[in-house]
Structure formats: C-alpha cells, structure tokens
Amino acid sequence: MAKCIHAMLRVIDETRSVAFYRTAFALDIAERLEFDDFILLYLRNNDADFEVELTVNKGRVEPYDLGDGYGHLAFCVDDLDGEHARFVAAGLAPRKIVEFNRDGVLLARFFFVQDPDGYQIEVLQRHGRYR
C-alpha cells in the first residue's frame, strides 16, 4: 500500500521559510541536504510522519509563479480558535475563520494563511474526516 510522505514547495529564502513553518506549525528541520545548485530541507513535527520538503534553488531571487494549478496544503489542529489567535499574535496574518456546512451539518471550520512564498495553507479544526 502506498503512503504519502511529503509535499515539496520551492522557496526563495531558507531562513524566512523555516521560521514561518516553525512558528506556524512547529515544524523543525529533520534533515538538510545541500547540493551544488540547491538545498533540500525536510520539515516535520512529532505529531505526524508527513513532511514538508522545501527546495531552495541557489541564486534564485525572483518569486516563483505559482500559476493557477496550485491548491493548498492543509493542517488540522485541536483548537482552531486558539491557533488563529496565536497566528494573529505571531504576525502571520491569517484570514478569518470560516464554517463550511453541508445540508445543515458542520463539515469543516478553517482559516487560510499564506507562507512567505505565496503558498496557501488551510488550517482546519480536527473534526469528522479531518484528523
């Protein structure tokens, strides 16, 4: 059986991106691999096996064109309201909390935040299928 192990994002500034993911999601560098032309950073926390892989292409200064195909990463948390307040206090500029209902039943509560390179990240209340 296949197991999803990481998602890769191309970033411009290693320090800024690592700081964002550490502050927002308590992800720390599990491994850093430096090559001649690029750096791979594998970020994780103790709550999940899934990693976020950041790729830094050396010498790249212009932002990446995310195009219209990228959707978002998603993280679930136990206390959405508390996390939203923490993001605000940390200056991460989360958008407002949204409740998404279907047929009168709560499907999801969530907010979005943007990382330093423009990637959208959904933060969901742990509920239903979001575990």
Instruction: Give tens-digit pLDDT for 68-96.
Output: 888 899 999 999 999 999 999 999 999 99
Rg (CA), the chain: 16
pLDDT at position 77, please? 96
Instruction: Give tens-digit pLDDT for 4-62.
Output: 899 999 999 999 999 999 999 999 999 999 999 999 999 999 988 899 999 999 999 99
List the domain boundaries for the chain: 6-125
d(CA 97, CA 109): 7
Fold of 6-125: 2,3-Dihydroxybiphenyl 1,2-Dioxygenase; domain 1 (3.10.180)
Where are the extended beta strands (E) located within 1-131?
6-11, 28-34, 38-44, 51-57, 73-77, 98-102, 105-114, 120-125
- Residue 28 near residue 41, CB atoms below 8 Å: no
Query: Residue 2: which pLDDT band, with cuts at 50, 70 and 90?
Result: confident
d(CA 76, CA 116): 20
Query: Global pTM?
Result: 0.91
Instruction: Give tens-digit pLDDT for 98-110.
Output: 999 999 999 999 9
Largest CA distance in the chain: 55
CA-to-CA dists, residue 70 to 22, 66, 82, 119, angstroms: 22, 6, 28, 8
pLDDT at position 83, please? 97
pLDDT at position 4, please? 87
